[in-house]
């Protein structure tokens, strides 16, 4: 767990000390907030036939943990993953569930082979659970099928077929703006252009940004919606070739560590509307 800490050093100049310059230091800690339900042991459970590998986390920052967030991502090492849903379930020493599963705030439902599936969970306080959990399971289900943690037999020497995902009825182009970093936050902005599949209800769109460092390790996962009020939509709908701006921010001052930003746009089921007669 990375903690971003600050120390103040005097800034030298003519006439002596002129002020204080804030420097950043990064150190490791394994001590999340005492109130946060974040067990040390976590497991992955998937629907049968789903193959995933976790990306390494460059940081689950103290700032994020203080907000009760757990972020990360999986790489799809199997075939196309359709209608994916991700949840976190707390468990006791025997693996029995504690409380209700926590829904993933990052909405990505279609994952190509070698594609990424980010997650962002709003963890619970220990005081809000009937007992302190001993572990947790990240459950990745495909099309609502049950997940399993058992071993699966595969035929030796025969890798499963890997199929590309089918085309969606809509397509977006993402143009990224300049990221803005400060001592107290990190912000990414851009524009989402609907290339095909319109019209769509703009309030039915979600955006997820996966922030990676130079080693492709996870720094942060941001979620949000486009800025509908700041867009020019004459019909009130997002037509083909129309664009929506978006801005996503984190209170974690990631600064120069962010080397790559991957943006995922999703359309909620009720956002698609029939095209009007021309």
Note down the domain range covering 250. Answer: 171-271
pLDDT in the model for residue 123: 93
pLDDT in the model for residue 130: 94
Rounded CA-CA distance 248/100 in Å is 28
Do residue 193 and residue 101 come from a single domain? no
- For the whole prediction, is pTM greater than 0.85? no
pLDDT in the model for residue 194: 94
Chain mean position to CA 244: 20
The answer to whether position 95 is within a domain reads yes
pLDDT in the model for residue 232: 80
pLDDT in the model for residue 274: 58
Taking Cα atoms as reference points, which of 128, 62, 60, 134 lies closest to residue 92?
A: 134
pLDDT in the model for residue 69: 87
The answer to whether position 4 is within a domain reads no
Rounded CA-CA distance 264/250 in Å is 17
CATH number, domain containing residue 195: 2.60.40
- Of the residues 93, 116, 148, the one at which a domain ends: 148
Chain mean position to CA 51: 19
Q: Phi/psi at 33 (nearest 5 deg)?
A: -55, 140
Helix (H, G, I), strand (E, B) or coil at 184: coil
pLDDT in the model for residue 129: 95
99: left (phi over 0), alpha (psi -120 to 50) or beta: left
pLDDT in the model for residue 2: 39
pLDDT tens string, the chain, 278 residues long: the values are 333 333 333 333 333 333 333 333 444 445 677 888 888 778 899 998 899 999 988 655 566 777 788 899 999 999 999 999 999 999 999 989 999 999 999 999 999 999 999 999 999 999 999 999 999 999 999 998 988 765 555 555 566 678 899 999 899 999 998 777 776 788 999 999 999 998 999 999 999 999 999 999 998 999 999 998 877 888 889 999 999 999 999 888 887 888 999 999 999 988 877 555 44
pLDDT in the model for residue 5: 35
Number of structural domains (the chain) is: 2
Taking Cα atoms as reference points, which of 132, 144, 138, 114 lies closest to residue 37?
A: 132
Do residue 187 and residue 142 come from a single domain? no
Taking Cα atoms as reference points, which of 210, 211, 198 lies closest to residue 271?
A: 198
Taking Cα atoms as reference points, which of 83, 160, 173, 71 lies closest to residue 122?
A: 71
- Of the residues 117, 148, 179, the one at which a domain ends: 148
pLDDT in the model for residue 66: 72
The answer to whether position 166 is within a domain reads no
CB 49 within 8 A of CB 78: yes
pLDDT in the model for residue 16: 35
The answer to whether position 29 is within a domain reads no
Do residue 100 and residue 190 come from a single domain? no
Taking Cα atoms as reference points, which of 170, 174, 168 lies closest to residue 244?
A: 174
């Amino acid at each position: 767990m990375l903690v971003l800490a600050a120390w103040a050093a005097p800034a030298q100049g003519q006439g002596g000390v002129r002020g204080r310059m804030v420097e950043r230091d990064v150190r490791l800690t394994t001590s999340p907030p005492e109130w946060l339900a974040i067990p040390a042991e976590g497991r992955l459970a998937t629907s049968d036939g789903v193959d995933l590998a976790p990306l390494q986390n460059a940081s689950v920052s103290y700032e994020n943990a203080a907000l009760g967030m757990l972020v990360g991502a999986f790489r799809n090492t199997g075939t196309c993953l359709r209608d994916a849903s991700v949840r976190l379930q707390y468990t006791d020493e025997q693996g029995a569930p504690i409380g209700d599963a926590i829904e993933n705030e990052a909405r990505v439902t279609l994952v190509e082979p070698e594609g990424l599936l980010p997650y962002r969970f709003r963890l619970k306080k220990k005081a809000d659970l009937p007992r302190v959990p001993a572990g947790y399971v990240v459950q990745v289900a495909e099309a609502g099928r049950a997940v399993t943690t058992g071993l699966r037999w595969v035929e030796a020497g025969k890798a499963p077929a890997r199929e590309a995902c089918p085309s969606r009825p809509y397509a977006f182009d993402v143009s990224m703006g300049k990221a803005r970093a400060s001592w107290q936050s990190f912000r990414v902005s851009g524009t989402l252009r609907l290339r095909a599949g319109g019209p769509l209800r703009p309030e039915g769109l979600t955006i997820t940004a996966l922030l990676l460092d130079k080693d492709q390790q996870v720094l942060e996962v941001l979620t949000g919606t486009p800025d509908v009020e700041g867009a020019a939509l004459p019909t009130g709908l997002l037509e083909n070739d129309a664009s929506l701006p978006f801005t996503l921010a984190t209170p974690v001052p990631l600064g120069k560590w962010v080397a790559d930003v991957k943006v995922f746009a999703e359309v909620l089921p009720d956002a698609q509307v029939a095209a009007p007669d021309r």
